[in-house]
Amino acid sequence: MAERSQEDERFMRMALQVGRVGRGQTSPNPAVGCVLVKDGEVVGQGAHLRAGGPHAEVHALRMAGPLAHGATAYVTLEPCSHYGRTPPCCDQLIAAGVRRVVAAMTDPNPQVSGRGLERLRAAGVEVVTGVLAEEAAREHEAFITWVRKGRPFVVWKCAATLDGYIACATGDSRYVTSAAARAAVHAVRREMAAIGVGVGTVLADDPQLTARTSPDGPAAGRQPVRVVFDSHLRIPLRARLLAEPGETVVYTTTAADPAKVDELCHTYEGRLSVHPFEPGADGRVPLAAALADLARRGCHSLLIEGGSRLASAFLRARLVDKVIYYVAPKLLGGGLQALAGLNVARMADAVSLAGVRWTAVGSDMQVEGYPVYDSGARPG
């Protein structure tokens, strides 16, 4: 195996940082970053900015021009070796005369994994892999899940008081957390391919489900696909989220009124899809089938917001891959619980989080981690 230089980690960290520019814009593709280095100096850098657009390596090669000859390319994911919407990146690296390629990780797709690296080696390019592989896997966790499981990477976001309530007994929830925490949530939304809620949240809060630059500002830039889980199609015809820019998908069941399906689709033609499934054993939308449909639509990540019933259903089905939980320094002593529907009987059966990170956000605390179900393996 080719040796790593002392500077490999430093430049790979730079490539990871560059790749973050594309977060929230590339689904279902990963937000890859590339940095070209020659004689210790960065001569080119690039990020993949949208599906169908040039890959990170192409942007970096264009910036470097002739300086790419003899350079080292640091890439956060194995350069592609197949024709998709764009030509293979490994061929373009070879043609530019790149001497060495350092890839953080191989492509998780078993049909293509390692083929780009082998093509580079066959052309005489020195190849190094595994530099900051764990960090790269975290950056590309949504893409990895989309490829390996055929569904989006599911993140459950919750904001609750110290005693575990997401709203008062009256239903009032404005606002549990500080403005700083709410701004952080919008930053998370901007990185997601889709945002999902249950119809109960739509009826109670009439949310917009948009990504904004400030908590009370207008929708800004590309908007995640809005997803409503609504088994009996109770969503109001004039729900605010239906009028927002971008695409909305409503997952319902065959128990829904066909006339209302037609009315919704006619009113919001071109912006709204209503997808009825045969109901599951509980009479509700089958979550796994809905996630598979989202994956086919090109959504590699889904942020679950809203009430406890939907979040509990996702956790019971072991479909939550990551938790982002905001704890506000407030006490209610009663109200609506964050996970009233989970009902774990024994502490030994509680869903634990691995890889936990604690961050102060304004006056609140953000807890981030990955659920560990009883298999002991981290999802993803």
For the annotated catalytic residues, the residue numbers are: 57
End-to-end CA distance of the chain: 28
In terms of C-beta density within 10 A (0-12 exposed, 13-18 middle, 19 or more buried), how is residue 85 classed? exposed
What secondary structure does DSSP assign to 323-375, as a single string?
Answer: EEEEEES---SSSEETTTTT--SSGGGPPEEEEEEEEEETTEEEEEEEEE-TT
Q: Which residues pair with 366 in a beta bridge?
A: 326, 359
Q: Which residues pair with 303 in a beta bridge?
A: 155, 195
Closest CA to 256 of 271, 228, 234: 234
Structure letter (DSSP) for residue 212: B
Closest CA to 329 of 303, 366, 297: 366
Contact predicate 136/77, CB 8 Å: yes
